[in-house]
Structure 1
Amino acid sequence: MSKILIDVTRLLTRLYDGLLPTGVDRVGLAYVQRYGGQARAVLSERGVSSVLTERDSLKAFEWLTSSICNRNSIRRLVISACTSSLRKTAFERGILLHTSHNGMEFQRYYRAMERRNVRSVFMVHDLIPLTHAEYCRPAVDQAHRQRIRTALEHADGLIVNSRFTLDSLIAEAQQAHLRMPPAVIAHLASGLPVRAHGKRPIDTPYFVFLSTIEPRKNHWLILHVWRRIVEEYGNAAPKLVIIGRRGWECENVIDMLERCVALKGVVIEEASCSDERLSTYLQYAQALLFPSFVEGYGMPLVEALELQVPVLASDIDVFHEIAGDIPEYIDPLDGLGWIAQIKEYMQPESRARAAQLDRAKHFRPPTWTTHFERVDDFIGSLQT
């Protein structure tokens, strides 16, 4: 078995900053839980990397999996890593597993791994900044293109979360006239622990929208939908719970949240929501709303269906790949379609909701066991 190295730079930085894990972070934490007992941790900055000692690696993995944040200890660990970077650690054979996009763009990172006799395997979560730059911050498309093309040129292998992401990656390689490295599709399991029902958080019917607030997630349309529903139903309108931080390029959404009188008391923002509270919100919801214009995967869809919570989702390919015919699919531009489905699903005896719950009984959620079986086989194939 190859020696496993895991780049934990993003995870440790976010822990230090006191930030709750995103979907990308949940994936990284799953890799730490799976391989941490036999792995070494890697820290990197602008392509300059350091392999932590076994002792420091175990410390870092323990902090990450337990969410223990001792800022002084993390600072000392980083200083130790900077010192150890002067020593050229090499392995008989090694595999780097890098599960975030951070640092993919630096060629010296790959070269340093080659000198350590380590093969670099990166996870690609999406190519959205390349395919849909209009939904991202300015210049993010250029930065992400550099990441992806550097990985295509220098990575020994790529892990992707969906067929949709792999197809996007192949198209980018062809457009850039670059070779396509070996790749494996490994669907992601829910990062949300399955918990027993807690106390119902809201007495009246409500829907959940789980996502960072950013343009491609389509919050603006849903808020206009909700205003129309409030106009029709008044105090009987269902609540909308938006779970996620405010992101970028979303001023119009913030204007609606802060200044739309009709939505006051009806739309509830939860910017920092623990896993326990999120699980409770989902379990009592009429449905999860997932109206994105584009996704590389769609972790909230998996999280909801695993909890047997209905989903109203955009009619996009990757959602069909993950969930088949279980959700109700609606075009992300079809405001009237969203209104109709929400009005149906808010009813106590909704037949459509009951029918989806029946379909959801047949949902087979991706598991980390299956994910890592595919990853382990892939790692093995790179050594032959």
Structure 2
Amino acid sequence: MSTDVPHIFIDISRLLSRARNPIPTGIDRVEYEYVHYLLQNEAERLTCVAFHPIGGIAPLPTHAVRKFLHVMGQVWGGDVTLRSRLPRLALRLTQSVLLSRWTVPRYRGKSVYLLVSHHHLTHPRAIERFLSRHGSLFVPMVHDLIPLEFPEYARPSEPLRHARRMETVSRLANGVIVPAKAVAQSLASYMQGRSAQDHVYVVPHGLHLELSQSSGRLPSRLPADGRPYFVCLGTIEPRKNHLLLLHLWRTMVEDIGQAAPRLILVGRRGWENENILDMLERCPALQGNVLEYNDLSDPDVVNLLQGSLGLLFPSFSEGFGLPLAEALVLGIPAICSDIPVFHEVAGDNATYIDPTDGPAWLKAIETLMTGKAENRAPSHTLHTNLFNWPRQVAAGIAVVDKTAALSSRTGEIDPAR
């Protein structure tokens, strides 16, 4: 290994905390893909670490991390037989933090602590102790600032917690990775006088879509009547604006009955969603016409999207918008909110509508139903390379290396920090 590149401590705390959830969120997938890529391509300069409330941040045994990641990938791919095994593997790794804190020697070479989730950014002292112990630089990933910009869509305690996270980033980070220019612009005002242009780097996310392995089989619970359908992907919460679609579907069903396509909601149930759940469970017009799936595997989601009339994504705010990117790569038409980050992701390959303009959404949906929309499917080849995970992780690691190189020249590294 070249002496010019830094050793990388990558944190897998979020993956460990999510071991009981068989279906990944977008941030889960990001952390998984970064760790997987580094283990496959940069293992000689990699140490996986994790946070424990008592033990702080400490290294983990690489062989155990590989085993955990392999099982997690199988579970996310639909292997239900391994679901009970994953939490046990996570528990052993978490317990090993307490042991390795005292038994692993300090690393004194050039190094970077890479945290690609928001996990434990509210514990800056633990991060500071780790950086001081190893003389490391700190490169976190900030996925969004939604709790600060749109507190009405977050849990009541989340805005304050996110403000603490951003304070940690501003004070300790030597470089910051964000998934979109829109996030970089939002982050700039929280950098406490530091130039965001010099410290913040835009690296879009990749996608985990094994298109060549797609079977084309729809989930077994989907009615086999051949009725057309649209898909909405995302956690069921107010920010995702499911209510807009539910009201539109009630209107369509009342107007045209079974001639209306189905709406399929894919995502776990989130928070403060009582109005959404009331409609799903109690509105007569939606019964059998709107279906909800909370635990689909990655292959099931691919198959579902490929068989759909299109993706509907009326979210009020997003840090990136992985479902939109998924639709682009699959060549599926998408109708989405007219917000800056979606334009970054999709360019001219989506239909943009104000998330509050119900009549415009209904008109666009009806246009796709007739099959008469111009340029119905986005360009496949244009976006396949753009959202390739290995390529995007390599770009993120290039940010790590650049941050280390710049800090070496400016004398920013301070082992006694």
TM-score, reference length from structure 2: 0.85
Q: Match for residue 207 of structure 2?
A: 190
Change in 2 beyond 3 A, CA 1:60/1:95? farther
In 2, distance between residues paired with 1:116 and 1:45? Answer: 17
Distance 1:269 1:29 in 2: 26
**1:323 paired to 2:346:** yes
Could you tell which deviates more after superposition, 217-226 or 177-186? 177-186
State which of 22, 26, 29 in structure 2 corresponds to 1:23: 26
- Structure 2: 5+ residue stretches without partners: 76-81, 406-417
Partner of 2:190, secondary structure, is: helix
User: Which AA in structure 1 matches 2:186?
Assistant: S
Asked if structure 1 preserves the Cα contact closer than 8 Å seen for 2:68 and 2:89, the reply is no
Q: Which moved more, 1:88-97 or 1:272-281?
A: 88-97
State the match for 1:382 in structure 2.
403
Once the two structures are TM-superposed, the CA of residue 170 in structure 1 deviates from its matched residue by 0.4
Deviation per CA, 1:114-135: give whole Å up to 9, x if none. Answer: 2212222111100000000001
Q: Which of 8, 13, 20 is residue 12 of structure 2 equivalent to?
A: 8
Residue 356 (structure 1) aligns with: 376
What is the aligned length? 378
Alignment partner, residue 124 of structure 2: 107
1:372 lines up with 2:372 in the alignment: no
Q: Identify which of 280, 284, 309 aligns with 1:286.
A: 309
Separation in structure 2 between the aligned mates of residue 53 and residue 370 of structure 1, nearest angstrom: 26
Quote the residue 2:408 is aligned against. none
> Pairwise CA RMSD of aligned residues?
2.0
Q: What does residue range 199-214 of structure 1 map to in structure 2 within 5 Å?
A: 199-200=217-218, 202=224, 203-214=226-237
CA deviations over 1:289-308 (Å, ceiling 9, x no partner): 00001111000001011000
Could you tell me which residue of structure 2 aligns to residue 229 of structure 1? 252
Q: Does 1:34 align with 2:37?
A: yes
Distance in 2 separating the partners of 1:88 and 1:111: 18
Partners of 1:185 and 1:179 in 2: CA distance: 15
1:89 to 105, 127, 132: 105
Instruction: Label 1:205 to 1:72 Cα distance change in 2 as closer, same or farther (>3 A).
Output: closer
Query: In the TM superposition, what is the alpha-carbon distance from 1:332 to its structure 2 partner?
Result: 0.2
Alignment counterpart, residue 51 of structure 2, candidates 17, 41, 44: 44
**Separation (CA, whole Å) in 2 of partners of 1:127 and 1:217:** 15
* 1:268 matched residue in structure 2: 291
Percent identity between the aligned chains?
Answer: 36
* Matched-pair contact (CA < 8 Å) for 1:152–1:179: no
Q: Distance in 2 between matches of 1:278 and 1:12?
A: 24
C-alpha distance in structure 2 between counterparts of 1:20 and 1:5, whole Å:
26
Q: Which residue of 2 aligns with 1:76?
A: 92
Mapped contact 1:282–1:304 kept (Cα < 8 A): yes
Name stretches of at least 5 consecutive residues in structure 1 with no aligned partner. none
After TM superposition, give the deviation of residue 157 of structure 1 in Å: 1.5
Following superposition, the deviation at residue 70 of structure 1 comes to 4.3
- Equivalents in 2 of 1:104, 1:110: separation in Å? 8
Distance in structure 1 (CA, Å) of the matches to 2:255 and 2:336:
23
Structure 1 position 236, deviation (Å):
0.7
CA shift, 1:318, in A, is 0.5
**Alpha-carbon separation, structure 2, partners of 1:137 and 1:335:** 26
Counterpart AA for 2:202: I
Displacement of 1:88 in angstroms is 5.5
Q: Does 1:151 align with 2:169?
A: yes
Return the offset for 1:95: 1.8
How far is the alpha carbon of 1:40 from its aligned partner? 1.8
Deviation, 1:110, is 2.5
Tell me the residue number matched to 2:300. Answer: 277
